[in-house]
A and B are shown apart, each in its own frame.
Chain A
């Protein structure tokens, strides 16, 4: 079991965003989180990553989890090459970052301030493939991607499930049905 949530609830002030939710993720499994805005998809992903603590309940993780926020976060004064090299170094990993950038059609030496939203999303996917976490937590990964980017996304999600578990929050039902083994519907509390 890569990830197990046992009866978790999360409250912000007086507002309960998630109430008594249990969930488990196996290696090789892809789960789609769907639900309207404000239903707690991003909060749930952040709880799974360990970036938030649940108000009640327990989160158990096995292995490394990485979270891809929407929009993805990068230092705008660094280039794609610099960013990837620092990320790899901080995570103590190696990887063919040049090949990955080529595959995703991204320039190495352009400051990220000049990247479009779609290019940043592609770079975030490059980063995830290079860091190869055990648990992939993706918040609306399809947003801002064009047709080619979407095809790349589907490709790497299929690759990722060979060695990891994937949870993606999405409003795109077609994507969810294409890549996910099961769907968790959040409807608000």
Chain B
């Protein structure tokens, strides 16, 4: 992976002459973390293995009839996404803690909100493609129809955004604690249950062929959770990062 844009950004700062803006920093932090994660590979491979094994076992346990498999698919998919994603959630800050570079980020000028959004974007970069892959696996194993792929993708986007907004916050909160891998799911699941439930209902509606107007209610609910979680997390994040 190459990122010539970083060099460009440094050689050609913003028109205001005060260097790059927060949006650019957010983008670069997410891109840098993605590059580190891809080079490290450990987190990505473990989640891929988890998705494959879980979906395969559930398909074997619930099959082989088509109808029960199809009805169970949304629940199985979102449970797999929720559990699998916890494996990646700690990665957002584990990259910094393992290499001891968190202090460098904290000493960058300006507020700390951009760090939250950069880490959030990094998680989205990781989880969205993985979620799509899990959706395709579920389609193959659970007879999940993909004729409404765009609405399904929108559900994935809203669900993953709600999940990662809380996960990134807690990953930052727990970054310096031992046993963060154990604590994170305990704290996280209590808050993301509404997101997961709404995402399951929206996915089920799409699979069962309900009109989009009916599914829309679940999307709106997901959007509300996303906005609330994002706002609260971004506001609280600088406070929890203080030493």
A, B co-complexed: yes
- Which B residues lie within 8 Å of A90 (CB)? 25, 28-29, 105, 108
- Kindly state whether residue A89 has any CB partner on chain B within 8 Å: yes
State in angstroms the CA–CA spacing of A86 and B95 once bound together.
Answer: 15
> Which DSSP category, helix, strand, loop or mixed, fits chain A's interface?
loop
- Which B residues lie within 8 Å of A182 (CB)? none
Known A64-B109, A82-B6, A85-B6: A92·B18 in contact at CB below 8 Å? yes
- Kindly state whether residue B48 has any CB partner on chain A within 8 Å: no
Interface range on chain A (Cβ under 8 Å from partner): 20 to 34
- Kindly state whether residue A65 has any CB partner on chain B within 8 Å: yes
Q: How far is the CB of A66 from chain B (nearest CB, A)?
A: 6
Chain B, residues 112-155, CB within 8 Å of chain A (1/0): the string is 00000000000000000000000000000000000000000000
Known A66-B107, A75-B101: A89·B95 in contact at CB below 8 Å? no
Chain B, residues 226-243, CB within 8 Å of chain A (1/0): the string is 000000000000000011
Q: How far is the CB of A155 from chain B (nearest CB, A)?
A: 23
Q: Decide if A91 touches B32 in the complex (CB within 8 Å).
A: no
- Which B residues lie within 8 Å of A85 (CB)? 6-7, 10
Task: Indicate which residue in B20, B35, B99, B107 contacts A51 across the interface (CB closer than 8 Å).
Answer: B107
Q: Decide if A94 touches B10 in the complex (CB within 8 Å).
A: yes
- Which B residues lie within 8 Å of A76 (CB)? 99
Nearest residue, chain B, Cβ from A73: B100
- Kindly state whether residue A100 has any CB partner on chain B within 8 Å: no
State in angstroms the CA–CA spacing of A28 and B7 once bound together.
Answer: 32
Q: Decide if B40 touches A77 in the complex (CB within 8 Å).
A: yes
Nearest residue, chain B, Cβ from A64: B109
Task: Indicate which residue in B10, B24, B109, B243 contacts A88 across the interface (CB closer than 8 Å).
Answer: B10
Q: Decide if B103 touches A69 in the complex (CB within 8 Å).
A: yes
Q: Decide if A94 touches B107 in the complex (CB within 8 Å).
A: no
B-to-A contact residues, CB < 8 Å: 3, 6-7, 9-11, 13, 18-20, 24-25, 28-29, 32, 35-36, 39-40, 95, 99-101, 103-109, 242-243
A-to-B contact residues, CB < 8 Å: 46, 49-53, 64-67, 69, 73-78, 82, 85-95
